[in-house]
Chains A and B, each alone.
Chain A
Amino acid sequence: MIEGRLHHVSIIVPDDERVHELAGLLGLTLGRRQYVAQYEADCIFTTGNGGVIEFIIAKSGKLSKFNKGMGGLHHIAIAVPDLEATKQQLAEQGIPLLETKPVDAGPIYINFLAPAYTRGVIVEYVQEVEPAAASQELPKVTQAAAETARAVQSSDTLATAPDGGRLDERDIFKSARSLRAEGRAEEAALRLREALRRNWLSPEGIEKAGRHIAGFLGESSAKPLDVLVLGQCTTHWVSNCLTAVAWGCGAAVRTVDGQYDNVIQELMTAAASGRRYDAVVLVPWSERLLGGEPGEGPARAAEELAFWQRAWQIVATQMSSRLIQVGYDWVSPGAVGHHLSGRRQGPVQLVRQMNESLQAALPPSAFFVDLDQASGTMGRDRFYDPRRYAWTKQPFSEAGAARVAQHLWSGIRAMVNGPKKVLVLDLDNTLWGGVVGETGPLGIEIGDGAAGESFKAFQQYAKALSQRGVLLAVSSKNNPADAREPFEKNPALPLKLSDFAAFEASWEPKSVAIARMAKTLQLGLDSFVFFDDNPAEREHVRQMLPDVEVVDVPEEAAQYIRALEAGQWFEALDLTAEDAERTAQYRAEAERRGLQESFASMDDYLRSLDMRGDVRDIDETDLPRVVQLLGKTNQFNLTTRRHSVEDVRALLARPRSVGLTVRIADRFADYGLVAVILGTEQSGETVPTLRVDTWLMSCRVIARTVEEFCLDALVRAARERGFERIVGEYLPTKKNQLVADLYDRLGFSRTGAVADNGMGYALDDITQVSATTFVARPA
């Protein structure tokens, strides 16, 4: 029997709305929210007295299919003091856990019991990480397990944003409200901007954020874009959403709504008032077009067209504002049914003809929002809400209103700023499946198979973007040669190197690479859109380069195209022949100018990272991770010696041997154990000499002066043990050119060739080491 108490009961629900519905019905208060990557699920825990309920929202993965996708009661969780001990107790009874390692779920570690042993009841074991220990050091018993869990989490599938993950909508508004009450209105508005940028708000929250921001813009002195919104229906919610959507993209839009269905009079009043509007948005509603007697359709369509032409004339001659005309749409096919509605003046046919004549007559400088496309993409059943129309003559659902606002903003942006110009793409698991550095140019997933076809379709889409004038660029953490090889050698790739205006493959932070591209291409960072499958990279770019738009990339490659399209970044008023030539022009320009790094700004960047390093002697709990790194590290590995656990133990047992681990953290993330150094005494030397057997490092912290920090740690360890000199060697492999000159850079001198085409090195006076590092040691 295992000692434990009930920790919580879990319910799987399809979406946030259902969570709020159930919590409302049951009188529960929602608290902490956490995304758990391994289960592809958001977990929301209730707070307050009594038992805790966990709501799970899984958009993909196994849990999303629970009870045929309908969800329901899922599992009970038992709290235990020590997961490892529980696992062993169960193992003694022959009962396995579903996972081999504890799963990191924020402040708790969890494991599931195999349901075959519990008559189908799903049981989870939970070990709470003590609050004090969570930020410092993990409980001793499970440190190795925690290390493994952290290693899993900090790989490419990082679970949450490094700053702690998604915030609950209510908390976001609460904090914005209290900041505002304290007179910190700008901070409140910026907090809402961050929530909007990260798509954390529901459609309802977007509208509410719009109201809040409208209030802020009313008090602020900065000059916003003034937009007049006039409709044949109520436009109030759409206008608020427009303010919010634009704010999320870094723009201030102040809206003025007219009286419902009073378009011409409102326009004349606005024109007479002398107030200048940057844009006028005109929103028709189909009731006037479709509300007539049978046979009246064509006459009504002609009237409507004349009506809008009159409105356009006022805008053009008296207001000199930019014009955004929304199209007509149908909500129901009408009594004639779907089959007949599309012909013989059925409602659908009338709407389509109306939209065609509107577009044909529209001034060429105006932007047309095709409402039929917008509602079709979302689905009319979701886009419209008949009850809202009955209540306030506002036909759109909350989600629909937010979507209309998105289209309006893409039009305003296209006219005021022009479309975004550059799409920055990652390579591994973005343009193809897998990691090219591991599988080689022909081993990546592209072309064949379900995943391969999705990546190929995404590349074709990107290529089509480039053909219409969007510049493509690559920012990848890879060896430059590895990164280029697939484009040169794998015929399945639709994209070729010549399709890219800039190609940055290095181990530098992506913010540095993108900033350099902006300089080389002579474009502002606000014309860049960044697309990367790795959430940590996205968060990094969001924080470091707030002007760059970062796409919320789903885990499923088949959804990449839609995710990229959803932001409508590249909406343009018109395309010209010049657009198609753009990539070639920029490439030539970039090559001419050459790439120049600014070292001063690089130092500033590294300093801003606030890196901290922790050096420890290898102990038993570190061994599994150390051996794992020895086995899999290819690139930053001077000697590529694949030692076993026994080898490492034997090495450490030798007198005066050195075995160090280095852990690194910065303001974005805790990278955990990232470097290993092994060394032993070199016999037969005149002065006491330490020979470096192994020096490896995870590529995630390369080019951040962690190398220099490691050298400093090595020198300190050597001096502590009475050594006066350090020797080592570089043994080349296909993968480790990255460190071919590491020892040279760190001030070692070459002592001549060694076996395996290697090069020997020595640091003769270890008291004279000056390596600049931006990694701080804990005090």
Chain B
Amino acid sequence: MMTKDEILQKLQDVFRDVFEDDELTIHRESSAEDVEGWDSLMHVSLMINVERAFGSKFSTTQVASLKNVGELVDLLESRLAGAPGGRV
């Protein structure tokens, strides 16, 4: 099982890859306002890259309800644990 910190670390790699910025640092509180280029279209690219990196698929409802990186970490954790609400 990956810890939340490990998930965040791996997410950071995905963010760097998607936003083409090797300096990019993200925290649980990071949201679209904090990251340059994170608009609604990039959000879709980002989600698809996250899905691929973690081998898990999100539902439309889940993607729409995410407020910040922390919620994405929590969602991934529940997905990876196979918790209810996680359609993998």
Contacts and interface: CB of A to CB of B under 8 A. Distances in A.
Nearest to A391: B44
28 contacts: A17-B52, A20-B53, A22-B55, A24-B52, A24-B53, A24-B54, A24-B55, A25-B54, A25-B55, A25-B80, A27-B2, A170-B17, A173-B20, A174-B22, A177-B20, A177-B22, A178-B22, A180-B20, A181-B22, A204-B48, A208-B18, A208-B45, A236-B41, A387-B60, A390-B60, A391-B60, A392-B40, A398-B48
Contacts of B53: 20, 24
Contacts of B2: 27
Contact of B45 (A22, A207, A234, A387): A207
Contacts of A387: 60
Contacts of A174: 22
A509 B65 CA distance: 60
Nearest to A25: B55
How many interface residues does chain A have, given as a range? Answer: 20 to 34
B57 to A, nearest CB: 9
B35 interface: no
Interface of B: 2, 6, 10, 17-18, 20-22, 40-41, 44-45, 48-49, 52-55, 60, 63, 80
A207 B6 CA distance: 28
Interface in A465-507: none
Q: Is the contact region of chain A dominated by helix, strand, or loop, or is it mixed?
A: helix
Nearest to A257: B41
A212 interface: yes
B36 to A, nearest CB: 12
Given A173-B20, A181-B22, A212-B20, A388 B54 contact: no
A85 B50 CA distance: 47
Nearest to A212: B20
Contacts of B80: 25
Interface of A: 17, 20-22, 24-25, 27, 170, 173-174, 177-178, 180-181, 204, 207-208, 211-212, 234, 236, 387-388, 390-392, 394, 398
Contacts of B22: 174, 177-178, 181
Nearest to A23: B55
Contacts of B45: 207-208
B54 A392 contact: no
A425 B1 CA distance: 54
Contacts of A211: 20
Contact of B6 (A25, A27, A390, A392): A27
A20 B52 contact: yes
Given A177-B20, A212-B20, A392 B55 contact: no
A392 B20 contact: no
Nearest to A176: B20
B31 to A, nearest CB: 18
B83 to A, nearest CB: 16
A206 to B, nearest CB: 12
Contacts of A27: 2, 6, 10
A683 B22 CA distance: 75
A392 B44 contact: yes
B55 A391 contact: no
A21 B53 CA distance: 7
Contacts of A17: 52
A391 B63 CA distance: 9
Contacts of B40: 392
A204 B18 CA distance: 11
A31 to B, nearest CB: 15
A664 to B, nearest CB: 41
A390 B59 CA distance: 10
Report, nearest first, the 5 A-B pairs whose CB atoms are least far apart: A25-B55, A24-B55, A21-B55, A24-B53, A24-B54
A500 B60 CA distance: 56
Nearest to B16: A177
Nearest to A394: B44
Given A27-B6, A208-B20, A212-B20, 4 more contacts: A20-B52, A24-B52, A177-B21, A398-B48
Most A C-beta atoms less than 10 A away, residue of B21, B48, B49? B48
A392 B41 contact: yes
A21 B17 contact: no
Nearest to A385: B48
Contact of A21 (B21, B49, B52): B52
A24 B44 CA distance: 19
Contacts of A204: 48-49, 52
Nearest to B58: A387
Contacts of B54: 24-25
Contacts of A398: 48
A236 B20 CA distance: 18
Nearest to A390: B60
Most A C-beta atoms less than 10 A away, residue of B10, B54, B55? B55
Nearest to A170: B17
A236 B22 CA distance: 24
B27 to A, nearest CB: 21
A181 B44 CA distance: 25
B13 to A, nearest CB: 9
Contacts of A392: 40-41, 44
Contacts of B60: 387, 390-391
B65 to A, nearest CB: 13
B22 to A, nearest CB: 6
A175 to B, nearest CB: 11
A207 B17 CA distance: 13
